[in-house]
Chain A
Amino acid sequence: MMIQEGPSPLVRVLAGLPLLAAVPSCAPDDGTLTAAVEAGEELPGGETTHEFFVGSNAFALPAANATDAHEGEFFSGNSFFNAPWVTAPSSTSSRDGLGPLFNASSCAACHFKDGRGAPPESEDEIPVGLLLRVSRVSASGDHLGADPTYGGQIQPFAIPGVMPEARPRISYATVDDAYPDGSPLTLRTPSLTLDELAYGPLAADVQLSSRTAPVMIGLGLLETIPAERIDALADPTDADGDGISGVAAWQTDEQGEPALGRFGWKAEQPTVAAQSAGAFRGDIGITSSARPDEDCTAAQQACADAPSGGTPEIDDDILERVVTYASLLAVPARRAPEDPRVLRGKLLFREAGCAHCHVPSHTTGDEHPTGEPALVELRGQLIWPYTDLLLHDMGQDLADGQAVGAASGREWRTPPLWGIGLIPSVNGHQYLLHDGRARGVAEAIAWHGGEAEASRDAFLTMDAEDREALIAFVNSL
């Protein structure tokens, strides 16, 4: 073939001779300045990155460097992640024990194709990709814990013989706003109600908060970022005066040891295993040795009396496979990191300060947070998740009032951005933020407040072309 002479453009870029950053960086920005392509950024998951964009299955593949043994475990876990759980007793005895109360009958129902859950399209649809958390909050803002009758989460489904807790309804008020340059910007604010409360009224002081199911890719890599790295990024008192005060979500785990929260919208879970056991129990009603009790309150006798699918319902070895699965779901390769518009957006992203919290890259360590060796595929990888895993005050408009773990009612964990541009391919939507209120990247940025206010304003005041470039960059991740 005739194309072997000379280094490829990619090689030249990697060698520090970017094709597109020819303009000296001291020149005034006339809209043509771009960032350079950085070594390794086209493979955001390092050697785990996969490059097969099998359409809607782009988030479903195992790490490209998975060993045979781990690939086998991955597929076992995949089976229990995807296939629905059924009511006990059943012929398929390792897959029974659904409920009695549940949000979904499988992990994949919410994390559809390992992607992102969507809020319901109409008020009449019972949400599946999204759930409602309930907590009591005093007039002075103190967190008082779960509702005594319904617990901390509303389950809108139940097995035969048990009443579903309630029917959540989500409606939106839309507000027509505009960018400073006059371009229209329409935002929608969700409001949550609970109908058909089956077990009596909620406590008077509860606040509802909805949470969508996040994308599943790259979780094992996030778990393997050394805690010291996250700590080094934290700045709880804003000592550097940049207006951003990231808080590392340190907490005490069940063994009484300090553990850094990394997963969940409020960084309340320190490990993929803890997050998975919590979701099995709270969302599907599947008990595990880590979470042996069903989510039934004292007011829910039929729930407590329902047949069990075993003690526990998911065996330890099966849960381990699901954890391996979740840890090895591969991050897809960037599609066009060298595209000029994407590189322009990359520059603007950094200039606007987005990268202060959406920290582009980290290098994973060799250990799992428990101190055990990490899965071999995940060790020492240069990764590009665009998160600091810290908690940030995101302002009153996004506040849900719920203090969880180390997070206050105004704080959220910076979500990773990798794969965000493939959500439409996988899930047919791009509803973003914790409750899916934002319809795409622009609206999501517009909702940023609190510590992110300056970055948001920088975005809003860009000209339309630059806003598009920044969005193109985010969607290229």
Chain B
Amino acid sequence: MRRFPRFHPRRSTAAHRAIRAWRTTRVGIVGIVGIVGASVAGCGAGSSEPDAPSLEDTKAQALTTYAAIVRANYADSRSGAVDLRDACDALVASPSQATLDDARAAWLAAREPYLQTEVFRFYDGPIDAADSGPEGLMNAWPLDEVYIDYVEGAPDAGIINDPTVTIDAETLVALNEMGGEKNIATGYHAVEFLLWGQDTSPDGPGDRPFTDYRTDGSGTAANQDRRGEYLGVTADLLVEHHDYLVAAWAAETAEDYANVFFSGSHDETLTRVFTGMYLLSGFETGGERLQPAFDFGDQEDEHSCFSDNTHRDFIQDLRGVQNVYVGRYVRLDGTVVEGTGLMDVLAAVDAELAEELDARIATSLTLAEAIIPPFDQEILQENMAGRQRLYDLIVSLRDQADLLEQAFLALDLQIPNTEPW
């Protein structure tokens, strides 16, 4: 069942056609005015309210708010990564249940701000630009566990148990990529695996003992020292990659992305921003992450499978969408970054659509918060209620993506394609 008129395939095509015809007509008229003479240009300009900010001003303000949210969010995420690195260092220096628990808590805390930054993906910005973006080194999934450390049935597996491989940042970055994918050696999920271990338990997270890091001869598994080095290096790399992101958005030099971001027209920049929201909502979260888990009910087909933290992925990803839409981000220290939001831009052209999208994002967030962790139990075929909760979220995210499509159309946004070569 389609839920919005716009979502019906035939009407959708008709709507597109109408809009295309409208655009063509407008171009035609501009062309004719150009030929006949531009003396009538500006006739319609007096129709807007004198006191209301112009649409272009609203766009400029919203983009300024967006960039401020990006900076604050990456700064918070960096601070989470620093705490995580320090906690990992403490675990390695003095392995105990307490230091392991602290490191796990630091990992969970670091994910909270990072996940909210995922809405800054998908438009070839600093995080995932084709050649330079560190996303694949920071957050790629699924992790190739056997490539890193021992797993059940393979006690000698992985880089950690291969003393011929030097463990340093350069090597791990180089080893992260093979066969065209960057998913195997570094990032949050590598750290997660090193803190929790494989999740082989039917109803709990992984259970790596802290003694995997004990180097006094009483440790478990082999190569505890190398495991500690690996953990330290990957956690440190996360900080390094955050440094890159913070610098890219700093707007200190002309090459910094923040300047590139503002160098195009407002519409080009808005298109990037809406593309991030659109693809994260429907394509990534509702589609690529939730749909297969729901579809197949495979217990470990989830992003944070070692820690059983996947439900937070959904919540914080969607909170990131909400942050940029309403123009309000609550920092780790409780202070608030806020200003004109994208919602204000959309409201200026279609107030009803703006409200509808606002309500939809809030509903999606509520539905994500309703997921009962662990996620890997919600998806099981026998958990009818859990599956219903996931289904409701998937449907809501599809609607959210549809409303975002309508926002593209309402604002007449289109990513300019590069010139044919």
Contact = CB atoms under 8 A, between A and B. Distances in A.
A and B: bona fide binding partners? yes
Interface of A: 2-3, 8-11, 42, 47, 51-58, 60, 64-68, 71-76, 78-80, 82-84, 86-95, 98, 102-106, 109-110, 112, 128-129, 157, 159-160, 307, 315, 317-318, 321, 335, 338, 377, 421-422, 424-425, 428, 430, 439-440, 471-472, 475-476
Contact of A424 (B145, B291, B420): B420
Interface centre among B29, B151, B206, B420 (most CB of A within 10 A): B420
Contacts of A128: 179-180
Given A52-B414, A109-B181, A421-B420, 8 more contacts: A51-B16, A67-B9, A83-B141, A84-B142, A89-B151, A104-B181, A160-B162, A338-B24
A273 B317 CA distance: 34
Given A54-B415, A91-B200, A103-B179, A9 B147 contact: no
Interface of B: 1-2, 9-10, 12-13, 16, 20-22, 24-26, 28-29, 44, 122-124, 130, 140-147, 151-154, 157-158, 162, 178-181, 183-184, 198-200, 206, 271-272, 275, 278-279, 283, 286-289, 291-292, 295-296, 298, 300-301, 305-306, 394, 398, 405, 408, 414-415, 417-421
Contact of B405 (A52, A68, A425): A52
B301 A55 contact: no
Contacts of A307: 154
A221 B84 CA distance: 50
A116 B28 CA distance: 35
Given A75-B288, A104-B181, A105-B178, A91 B296 contact: no
A335 B417 contact: yes
B261 to A, nearest CB: 14
A34 to B, nearest CB: 17
A55 B291 CA distance: 24
A317 B28 CA distance: 50
A430 B44 CA distance: 44
A89 B275 contact: no
B70 to A, nearest CB: 18
A422 B417 contact: yes
A93 B300 contact: yes
B275 A105 contact: no
27 contacts: A3-B25, A8-B25, A8-B28, A10-B20, A10-B21, A57-B279, A64-B13, A68-B398, A73-B295, A75-B288, A75-B291, A79-B287, A79-B289, A84-B181, A86-B142, A88-B146, A91-B198, A91-B200, A92-B143, A93-B300, A94-B301, A95-B301, A103-B179, A105-B180, A105-B181, A128-B180, A160-B158
B13 A53 contact: no
A3 B298 contact: no
Contacts of A55: 123-124, 271-272, 275, 415, 417
A477 to B, nearest CB: 10
Contacts of A106: 179-181
B124 A56 contact: yes
A89 B153 contact: yes
B152 A89 contact: yes
A91 B300 contact: yes
A421 B414 CA distance: 16
Contacts of A56: 124, 130
Interface centre among A105, A157, A471, A475 (most CB of B within 10 A): A105
